[in-house]
Structure 1
Amino acid sequence: MNKSKTVSSNPSVISDFKEITKMRLALSVVFSSLAGYLLGVDIISYSELILLAFGGYFMVGASNAFNQIIEKDLDALMDRTKNRPVAAGRMSVTTAFIIASIFTVLGIIILYSINKQTAMFGAISIFIYTCVYTPLKTLTPISVFVGAIPGAIPFMLGWVAATDNFGIEPGTLFALQFFWQFPHFWAIGWFLYEDYKKGGFFMLPTGKQDKGTAVQVIMYTIWTLIVSIIPVFGFTGRLELSIVAAVIVFGLGLWMLYYAIRLFKIMTEKAARQLMLVSVSYISLVQIVYVIDKFIR
């Protein structure tokens, strides 16, 4: 019993490194990037896949490390974040800054080795997340809108990495992940409302756990659902979707919409947490369906 307490109160260097770069989040971003790459590529280059995976990981890791440096004092106020390495004082700001800087340089260099546009979007993502989204979080709920921009880049980034071209196809992928983030993050903002309030973060569109927020969650879920099936209609260039795949994707959208409506009806933190979990599964499953559909069509 005492041993487990010691382990939990004294995280290892490795666990701190995972935390400063938010490894689980970074890996989900890499997954989105690879899905976008597979959708855009004609002939799969495994070397490019590996470069994209590492470049994407470094890009997200850098953003998260810079974020934790900037918010270290606020993180210390919230139960969810008070044990982060910088906030808890286990890692110095200097060390975190060195990690963030190295990750930024490595990420951009690796993405540049794929093509210039991929590196450009990677750099834009880091800049918006660190210099715009992070400062806005304590000022206005509009921060979620701003944060949705870098959050939507990875899916699109994969297509750009595969094609060295930005057009209607990566734009559609961007729109899908962009709209999806609102119900996802507002669900998080809802069930962590009290904790966020300790840090002075404004995450919900109305600032409260009310019907107004719940209605907007439903609206953006519907937009996500609509965008997800646009490729079936044939005007998104090379990004196509079969009728069968569109029906599956539409069904997944209805699944998430059900939980969004449920949040509106019962307005509990448990309902918000369920919506968050469903939203995470939803975006991954949609990306998988898109990729499978491309290769079996």
Structure 2
Amino acid sequence: MKMAVSSVKNTALSLYFADFKEITKARLAVSVVFSSIAGYFLGAVEINLVSVLLLAFGGYCMVGASNAYNQVIEKDLDALMNRTRNRPIPSGRMSVAMAMTIAVLLTLLGIVALYFLNPKTAMFGAISIFLYTSVYTPLKTVTPLAVFVGAFPGAIPFMLGWVAATDNFGIEPGTLFMIQFFWQFPHFWALGWMLDDDYKKGGFKMLPTGKKDKGTALQIIMYTIWMMLISIIPVFGFTGRLQLSVVAAGVIFLMGLVMLLFAFRLYEKRDNASARKLMLASVSYITLMQVVYVVDKFI
């Protein structure tokens, strides 16, 4: 009997943990934390383990809070779409009150953790939550410009790490911000292309032209080119302490060309398979680009 009760408790805990990961979008949160830590390594003169842990914890809390607020706001729309109807709130596994409690607690914990690093880091973290939940989320059903607005909080993590390490906002974190800002357009438009039919069920307007057409594909190409150019700006030596060697810039540019190739294939074929390949290429690009930046600094 005791073993049976213990097994039930373990199952319940695992389900609660699974719902927590879902409400906070754990995979996305971890990727954001990775970007923040990469920015920290680029900005830090000396690596402080406590600071890295505070940044990781605070960063996860801020992203998790944003996603929890988002799922509370969009609970009725999530119930209409195949990819989101099994989320904790629309499926009935989690109440709105519980989701809001999680969101508020994560907000407070995240701001406090980031404040221990420095006030600027906490301020940018709070701004990202506000923009994501109060501006980007409501605009998603109103205008495709929501993606432009959402790119601002989405671009904060890479620069946030630099600010956490230096307590300063200047040309260096501004450059990191711009890299991730422009990267988001091909990434999210590729994702929006793949999920367009499902997004329409919820009334979301995610593609720039509202259609899976050449106009959208052309804009993806243009933003990919901008992303490639901005990613190698530090090689020219006018971005302060943010430096990039010629070899590293060449590697990053080649990675960008691969992503651009997938963007051109989407323009040519205009199908979901091509959009998926571009989306995966974009995820690989942002991760490897940040790794190259960090490795280039320390070798």
Give the TM-score normalised by the residue count of structure 2. Answer: 0.95
CA distance in 2, matches of 1:188, 1:197: 13
- Aligned letter for 1:80? R
1:234-269 C-alpha deviation (Å, 9 max, x unpaired): 000000000000000000110110000110000000
Task: Give the corresponding residue for 1:154.
Answer: 157
CA distance in 1, matches of 2:109, 2:159: 20
The equivalent residue for 1:56 is 59
Mapped pair 1:186 → 2:163: no
C-alpha root-mean-square deviation of aligned residues, in Å? Answer: 0.6
Letter in 1 for 2:20: F
| Secondary structure class of the residue paired with 1:12 | helix
For 2:97 and 2:268, the matched residues in 1 are separated by 47
Distance 1:294 1:147 in 2: 30
Structure 2 equivalent of residue 83 of structure 1: 86
- What's the counterpart of residue 220 of structure 1? 223
Identical residues among aligned pairs (%): 70
The runs of 5 or more residues in structure 1 that have no matched partner are 1-10
1:130 is matched with which residue? 133
Give the aligned residue type for 1:291.
V
Output aligned runs, 1:131-280, within 5 Å.
131-280=134-283
Aligned residue among 111, 114, 125 for 2:114: 111
Structure 2 residue identity aligned to 1:77:
L
Deviation at 1:87, TM superposition (A): 1.4
Report the CA distance between 1:12 and its aligned residue: 1.2
Q: For 2:290 and 2:262, locate their aligned partners in 1 and report how far apart those are by CA, in whole Å.
A: 20
Q: 1:286 and 2:285 equivalent?
A: no
Q: 1:88: how far off? A: 1.0
**Separation in 2, partners of 1:173, 1:48:** 20
- For 1:70, the equivalent position in structure 2 comes to 73
Q: For 1:118 and 1:252, how far apart are their aligned partners in 2?
A: 30
Question: Which runs of structure 2 are paired with 1:28-47 in the superposition (5 Å)?
Answer: 28-47=31-50
Q: Could you tell me how far apart the structure 2 residues matched to 1:135 and 1:97 are?
A: 17
SS in 1 for 2:232: helix
4+ residue runs of structure 1 moved beyond 4 angstroms? none
- Residue 212 of structure 1 and its aligned partner are, at CA, apart by 0.3
CA distance in 1, matches of 2:136, 2:196: 18
For the residue of structure 2 that corresponds to 1:201, the secondary structure is coil
Aligned equivalents of 2:202, 2:265: Cα separation in 1:
28
CA deviations on 1:256-296 (whole Å, 9 max, x unpaired) are: 10000110000000100110011001000000000000000
User: What are the superposed Cα offsets for residues 9-52 of structure 1, whole Å, 9 maximum, x if unpaired?
Assistant: xx811110100000000000000000000000000000000000
Following superposition, the deviation at residue 84 of structure 1 comes to 0.4
| Pairs aligned (count) | 286
Structure 2 unpaired stretches of 5+ = 1-13
Shift of 1:89: 1.2
For residue 241 of structure 1, give the secondary structure of its aligned residue in structure 2: coil
